[in-house]
Structure 1
């Protein structure tokens, strides 16, 4: 007999699920032995209040599959034998068991009980029913522990996802702010570039008229270099430096314009 449970959506934290489930079962008085790991598949023997079996835990898609295979219990044989003895007598039971060479002892007892009286049949059935109730009780305990661990991990995963969403929202907000600032800086760069072009035109006209424009030309060249440095800083998203360079470029442009106005 086997029982299968699925812990929903926790395959990504399989190791944590396994550790928590084993700890929870141990706290409930479960004896866990012969634990082995084969990749992401864990197999172990379990015993709880006389019931014993094998537990297998492994990822299954996004979930974790918990399989509990119930082992045959000593009390099934013991009570069944006692019931059969009461109904059919010691000789027929022992003879039926000892005459068979192969098979499980439970199978041999089952064959030997074939001709047992009503009292013996009832005793064997009663022993089986009591054992099945014990196994169901442990299966219920296992399901309860698995659900508790599943709930704990889902809460943790939900909290982690909420935290990640907060970080993503902050990142989106920062990107939006950066994009807005970049747009403002590029708009200012266009204004500075326009002022430089206008000043260059004025300088060329003055040169054509034979006027001395060396002082203006020096400041204009300096303004152009500052503009280029501001543009490079903007490409690197260093908007503070870009604004500083543009401010200096505007100062050079204003100084050049002041000289032209003298």
Structure 2
């Protein structure tokens, strides 16, 4: 008999699902052997108390499909006894006891052999489809699959929340960057105007014979800092734009001071 279960929406965590399922089952007293693990499928033999079978685990679309094939369990044997009695007949069992001087259990076992061969288990058609007729391990497996699915759904929800938060942080950063970009653009335009104005003053003073070496060196340095700030702005390296703008503005002020000192010295 085969029991089939689907764990909904967890195929993206298939490896985690398989490992957790095996771990949970082991903690519940299940012996797991002959594991064959592949990227999208797994098979293994399971034994729980007096029940044995095979597990097949595979990805199916967005879900994980778990098939449990029962190979042996106590309930089958007990129902087989009833089938054997009905199929072989009480008389043949008693006759066996009388002929061979065996216990009733031995005679019953002998009768069961013939009854099983004759189809005494035919009443099990559709057995796996009835929830009420689950084997003990099939019930444990169903509960365990649900436990693992709940754990993974919590993980998936957490991942989705993290992605949502990351997207929100991304939107906020874009908005902040746009705001900074506008602010820096205005500061760069203002700085460029200051540099040009002082350069014109220096050139004019030089044409009038004033010693502008010191002032020119400083305004040239201010222009270089402006260009560095503009390059950082173009690359959206906003963390370095403001310091370079500040340094350039300081150099413009020092160039103006040097020019004033040179003009006063005449």
Q: What is the TM-score of this pair, normalised by structure 1?
A: 0.72
The answer to whether residue 57 in structure 2 is matched with residue 57 in structure 1 is: yes
Which of 245, 249, 254 pairs up with 2:251?
A: 249
Other-structure match for 1:141? 140
CA distance in 2, matches of 1:45, 1:22: 11
Other-structure match for 1:81? 84
Deviates more, 1:229-238 or 1:186-195: 229-238
Deviation at 1:16, TM superposition (A): 1.7
The answer to whether residue 201 in structure 2 is matched with residue 212 in structure 1 is: no
- Asked whether the equivalents of residues 45 and 53 of structure 2 are also in contact (C-alpha less than 8 Å), the reply is yes
- Asked whether the equivalents of residues 24 and 145 of structure 1 are also in contact (C-alpha less than 8 Å), the reply is yes
Q: What is the TM-score of this pair, normalised by structure 2?
A: 0.71
Other-structure match for 2:160? 161
- Runs of 5+ unmatched residues, structure 2: 97-107
Aligned-pair RMSD on alpha carbons?
3.7
Deviations for 1:203-256, whole angstroms, at most 9, x for unmatched residues?
445556x44362443333232123223334444431343233233233235426
- Asked whether the equivalents of residues 199 and 257 of structure 1 are also in contact (C-alpha less than 8 Å), the reply is no
- Asked whether the equivalents of residues 191 and 245 of structure 2 are also in contact (C-alpha less than 8 Å), the reply is no
Which of 107, 118, 128 pairs up with 1:109?
A: 118
Equivalent positions of 1:40-55 (< 5 A) are: 40-48=40-48, 50-55=50-55
Equivalent positions of 1:1-40 (< 5 A) are: 1-40=1-40
Deviation at 1:191, TM superposition (A): 0.6
- Asked whether the equivalents of residues 225 and 244 of structure 2 are also in contact (C-alpha less than 8 Å), the reply is no
CA distance in 1, matches of 2:123, 2:8: 37
Q: 1:137 to 1:192 in 2, by over 3 A?
A: same
Other-structure match for 1:68? 68
Deviates more, 1:248-257 or 1:145-154: 248-257
